Structure 1
Amino acid sequence: MHATATFTDIYVAVSQFYGRQVQLLDSNRFEEYAQTFTADGEFQHTPGVPPARTHTGIIEELRRFNTRFDDDPVQRRHMFSMLNLSRREDGAFDATFYALVLTTRPGGKQPVVGPSCLVHDVLVIEDGEVRNRSRRVTHDHMFNL
């Protein structure tokens, strides 16, 4: 990404980044997914579980989380939408968007929808590439009245 990139250029690059990132996650390519974060990146996706830090920590957390599917063959699809992107004073970007997870099991059954989440990312441009510095996922069903 060039230093003269417009906000529109950055928005398009971020949208492309998310398309690639989510496909890595849904394909269980955790090592490649972790590489979409900065070296000191932070990833918090499960309520009550401390954030994973660094590429190694993110990979370990995703492997741990996905053991729940060891005896339950599923295809999960993360659907990201309604991206709101804004520049921070430090040059990074705040990205907030909705995420729905669709879980499909073999046998032609209908997908299960959920959870519904709000995702808060801090993105940076490193060596011309978009990277996650941090991700915090909040689950809609965990809200307090």
Structure 2
Amino acid sequence: MTVELVDTAERTRESQKFAALYAEVQQFYAHQMQILDAHDSERWAGTFTEDAVFELPSLPEPVRARVGLARYVREGAARQRRAGNRLNHWVGMLDVQPQPDGSLRTRCSALVYVTPAGGSSKVLYVCVMEDTLVRTRGKWRTAHRRVTRDDLA
């Protein structure tokens, strides 16, 4: 009977620990997407590691490093302003898998909405986002992101 209580207590501690981690990762993505939607390119790039790799199906090669990531967001923001559109991102269906080295593998659905000036929002892309997150200087950061789109599968 004592062994069962210890096992139950240990499982409860592990569940609580994972629940806290899961909430932390959800908050990370909420913050990261809000920064992206605000076109704050430098802060958004700061949510990635210095040597991050960002793979998008619409680009011929991955975007690399924070400098490249910030440039990518600035250029995208300029295109959206010229078109008179606003993009917003929604992330859900999050799966978090802790790795033995302390990193996290995550997979989630990501929806990109476009709202034309004076118009109604519409889903522009349905994506799957697969990340490797690492903790650096006390914060989670994306080391690698691979995005796939349903319409390009």
TM-score, length of structure 2 as denominator length: 0.83
Residue pairs, 1:56-135, within 5 angstroms: 56-107=67-118, 109-135=119-145
Distance 1:43 1:22 in 2: 15
The equivalent of 1:38 in structure 2 is 49
One-letter amino acid of the counterpart of residue 66, structure 2 = H
Kept in 1, the 8 Å contact 2:57–2:152? The answer is no
Q: Which has the higher contact order (CA 8 A, sep 6+)?
A: 1
Distance 1:62 1:46 in 2: 16
Is the partner of 2:50 in helix, strand or coil?
A: strand
The structure richer in helix per residue is 2
Aligned residues: 139
Q: Note the C-alpha offset of 1:61.
A: 2.0
Match of 2:61 among 37, 50, 73: 50
Is the partner of 1:120 in helix, strand or coil?
A: strand
The equivalent of 2:11 in structure 1 is none
Q: Note the residue ranges of structure 1 that are not aligned, 5 or more in a row.
A: none
The equivalent of 1:17 in structure 2 is 28
- The CA RMSD measured in Å over matched residues stands at 1.8
1:59-105, Cα deviation, whole Å (9 max, x unpaired): 12223334432421222110101000001232211000001111111
Distance 1:130 1:48 in 2: 25
Percent identity of paired positions between Structure 1 and Structure 2: 32
The equivalent of 1:140 in structure 2 is 150
* Higher-Rg member (1/2): 2
TM-score, length of structure 1 as denominator length: 0.88
